[in-house]
Amino acid sequence: MVVQAIRKATTGQNGVGAFILQCKRLDFHYCDWAGSSKGMNTFLRNSLSKFAAANPAVEITVSPRPSRHPIIKGTYINGREKAICVRNLTKEQILQKAELLRDANGEKLKKVTKPVKSINESVRGVWSPYHDGGIHV
Amino acid sequence: MLSRTIRRSILDTRVPTSALPPTFLLPNRARYFNSTTQHVDTPPESIYISQLATSPPAEAAETVTPVRRPIRPKVPLPPAPISEPVALDASVKELLPLLAAQPSHYISAHIHAKPYLVTAGDTVRLPFHMPGVVPGDVLRLNRASSLGSRDYTLKGTPYLDERIFECRARVMGTEAEPMRTKEKKKRRNRRINTVKSKHKFTILRIAELKINSLEDIEGSGTESV
Amino acid sequence: MRRISRSCRPIGHLRVNATRNTPSYVCATCRSQAPSFSTSSIRTDARDRTLGELRKKIWGTDVPPGLENPYGDKSNIEKLVVSKQKAKGKATEAPMKPNKTAATTPSSDYEPATTWDGLEEVGGENRNTTNQFRGFLAPDIVTDTDELTAALHRAMVEVFALKQAGLPLLDVSQTAPGFDSTLDVQIVSSTGGVQLKFGENSSLEQVIQSLAKVVDETAEKEDPTESEENVAADRSEVDPLQTDKIATPVDETIEKGNPTEAEEDIAADRSEEGPLKHAQPVMTYEELFASWDPSWLQISVDDPEIKFAVLKRTLQLTGVRVPDSAMKSARTAQSILSHLVTPPKPRKLIEALEQKEDLLSLPNVSMSGRRVTPIDREKAAGRWKLIEKELESRGLPVTGH
């Protein structure tokens, strides 16, 4: 007897029922000594708690990365990572970068020309000359 | 001004609880701590009157709505309920149940006066970065020019009444395009100016498309009258 | 190439002589460490002989006029002055008296040592054991809030006790902190001013006495060495107000006193058990603070003299410096205390973050004090033990970070 897979009735589409944020983790790396980390250190001191409280779905880790520039690294559900170097940026700019990583979906950037993407079948079907009442000659 | 009106009116937080995941999955709270501030003006009443033929929105109801936190940026409130009864044509009354009975539907929803022909589950990449929204927000698209199924199409003049259907879209996030560089060169001059641009786009997913039944449409009109 | 010895030239002798007898102030350390020392190889007697021959040749007689050594010795006038001073009996030359170790002339029973046993040690760690510097501040900076509060209370009581007794306020920091007799003294601000209420174990005299006691004991014990006198003089210069009012007995003793031994004892006592243990060993800080009238923190220190005395005494007791800006704005004991107990700024970011309650309470935030390495990630996933075992079983080194 041949084992047959059960056909899936529907495909999972994030956001149609439940919504899961694509960004699952944000790593904040800083350096205690370097001046390029100044803004990052200020951000971690002052704004991180609010940012973390506002985004409970994102795991946030803070760890030093000595003698390197500060970075924010986002890890996504699709397995990809995005890292942004935030050297010499101010607290507000770093917050913007963190929001950018949170809002991203982890995919590579692509040029999109058509605004609507669909996996559904066409609602009205393919046009057929035999079913459209015909042409009266 | 028109675009602002639509932008304001499509932002809808009244979602049936059955359609929503548990609250911890919703990063809605992120809106209260966002670096992008919202610049949304309250639309003048005349637009409502002229386009939707409704009574002026109840301003009192808006002011009564409690603001949870003083630091919270201004979030547009859901549009005021429409109190005028829907004037449905006899043919519409006859054919709308047939349209609703068919299995799948499409809608030509307008956002900032641009039409998007979508079905439930589709992804829409808006050609702009919508300010003040965070992933997980639900917008109600209330402006549509046509609504249809396999065999029937309801066309608006120019728009459908927003009580006929319920179309909701979920904000999925923000995407960017690859960096574009454009070299600007003038003749007989060796200087080349390189212009870089990288735009951001808001991604929506059509979470729900529902056609209301005739009783609901007419009931909602008569109820409030 | 033949070398000409430069020191053979007559001018060489002259130069050496001219430089040798420069007015010789030698500091105590140098004197104790090294005998007088010269790079020149010429012996004194040989040089004198050469000079004498030169002078004889110049004058053409066996008895030349003038000084024996016209280049080095003091002039006749200077010699006259010195002899006059000697006649007066002033021991001005005492500091210039050569030390024992600096003696260069060997005695007749001199016997060169073959081993170093029994020889006097010069330099090293125990150089100057008799003359150790003792700072004004407490040796260890107090960080404990309770101790700081107790110290401030003590300073307040002592300053106001001195004020009540009519003594100069800066007497308060004249003595090294010893036994605390202010524990059951209540300090209350009333409408007329600040009042001290003494318990059964204390009195105004006792408090005043405690500020002078240490010095009285030590005054008779030892003669101060010269450098200690200097130190004491330096210290008294710190308070110009004090030098004007030498009348009190406290001041005299402080000038003479040798603070080393007594201070050592006190410092040892303090470091072992703290000032409170002396009086009531069973009393905790909470009980102590509860026994005080809470209004003592509201006492005004607007008077700059009082404020300065309190701050100085607190500095001496605790070693905590109050910044100048805070000093100026402080009006009550409470405001001084708030600056005293301010914790030091954390030097590392992680220390600052760990103090933040709102960050620690968030379930989705985790922090690490050091770099998160690949091994850390493996450990978090629970794979590292397996990897280690596999590496060992294959005889591979377990490296990485």
Q: Which of A21, A86, A91, A93 to mutate to test the interface with B (most CBs of B within 10 A)?
A: A21
Number of separate domains in chain C: 3
pLDDT confidence tier of residue A35, bands split at 50, 70 and 90: very high
In whole angstroms, what is the distance from residue B47 CA to residue B1 CA? 9
Question: What angle in degrees, to the nearest 10, is found between the helix axes of C204-219 and C249-256?
Answer: 30
pLDDT of residue A12: 84
CB-count burial class (<10 Å; 0-12, 13-18, 19+) for A7:
exposed
C200: in domain: yes
A136: in domain: no
C114: in domain: no
CB contact under 8 A, A60 and C358: no
Domain co-membership, C278 together with C181 = yes
A91: in domain: yes
Domain co-membership, C297 together with C373 = no
pLDDT of residue B51: 37
Q: What is the pTM of this model?
A: 0.57
Nearest to C371 among A49, A60, A66 (CB): A66
Number of separate domains in chain A: 1
Q: What is the DSSP string of C253-283?
A: HHHH---HHHHHHHHHHHHHH-THHHH-TT-
Q: Which of A14, A94, A118 to mutate to test the interface with B (most CBs of B within 10 A)?
A: A118
Residue C144's alpha-carbon distances to C149, C159, C201, C315, in angstroms, are 9, 22, 26, 14
Q: Which residue has the higher pLDDT, C16 or C62?
A: C62
- Among B128-137, C132-141, C193-202, C291-300, which range has the highest average pLDDT? B128-137
- Among A124-128, B39-43, B77-81, C340-344, which range has the highest average pLDDT? A124-128
Q: Kindly report the average pLDDT of chain B as a whole number.
A: 75
> Nearest-CA neighbor of C347 among C339, C338, C355, C359?
C355
Domain co-membership, C17 together with C57 = yes
Domain co-membership, C216 together with C327 = yes
pLDDT of residue C94: 46
DSSP helix/strand/coil, A100: helix
Domain co-membership, C367 together with C336 = no
pLDDT exceeds cutoff 70 at C253: no
DSSP helix/strand/coil, A26: strand
Q: Which residue of B has its CA nearest to A11?
A: B121
A23-30 sheet: strands from edge to edge: A81-85, A71-76, A23-30, A59-64, C365-367
Determine the average pLDDT of the residues in C369-384.
Answer: 94
Q: Which residue of A has its CA nearest to B180?
A: A111
Work out the percent of chain A whose per-residue pLDDT is above 70: 97
Please check whether residue B99 is in contact with residue B146, taking contact to mean a CB–CB distance below 8 angstroms.
Answer: no
A41 touches chain C (CB under 8 A): yes
Please check whether residue A65 is in contact with residue A31, taking contact to mean a CB–CB distance below 8 angstroms.
Answer: yes
In whole angstroms, what is the distance from residue C347 CA to residue B42 CA? 49
pLDDT of residue B65: 38
Please check whether residue B38 is in contact with residue B131, taking contact to mean a CB–CB distance below 8 angstroms.
Answer: yes
pLDDT confidence tier of residue C52, bands split at 50, 70 and 90: confident
The enclosing domain of A87 has a CATH number of 3.40.30.10
Placement of tokens 């079905």 in the chain = B119
Q: And the tokens for C41? A: 């190889």
A107 touches chain C (CB under 8 A): no
Question: What angle in degrees, to the nearest 10, is found between the helix axes of C226-238 and C249-256?
Answer: 140
Q: Which residue has the higher pLDDT, C174 or B20?
A: C174
> Nearest-CA neighbor of B204 among B147, B105, B135?
B135
Domain co-membership, C322 together with C358 = no
C150 CA: distance to closest CA in chain A (Å): 33
pLDDT of residue C293: 78
Looking at C88, C109, C126, the residue that finishes a domain is: C88
Nearest to B173 among A13, A56, A105 (CB): A105
Domain co-membership, C263 together with C236 = yes
The structural domains of chain B, with segments of one domain joined by +, span: 2-224
Q: Which of B123, B204, B206 to mutate to test the interface with A (most CBs of A within 10 A)?
A: B123
Domain of residue A38, residue span: 23-103
C117: in domain: no
Placement of tokens 């009006």 in the chain = C331
Domain co-membership, C325 together with C354 = no
Domain co-membership, C177 together with C224 = yes
pLDDT of residue A74: 97
ipTM of this complex: 0.85
Q: Which residue has the higher pLDDT, A69 or B223?
A: A69
Determine the average pLDDT of the residues in C110-132.
Answer: 74
In whole angstroms, what is the distance from residue C353 CA to residue B166 CA? 47
Domain of residue C221, residue span: 145-340
Q: Which of A5-14, A47-56, C228-237, C243-252 has the lowest mean pLDDT?
A: C243-252
A122: in domain: no
C102: in domain: no
pLDDT confidence tier of residue C222, bands split at 50, 70 and 90: very low
A87: in domain: yes
Domain co-membership, C360 together with C296 = no
In whole angstroms, what is the distance from residue A87 CA to residue A85 CA? 6
- Among A121-135, C293-307, C360-374, which range has the highest average pLDDT? C360-374
Q: Which residue has the higher pLDDT, B56 or A7?
A: A7
Q: Kindly report the average pLDDT of chain C as a whole number.
A: 70
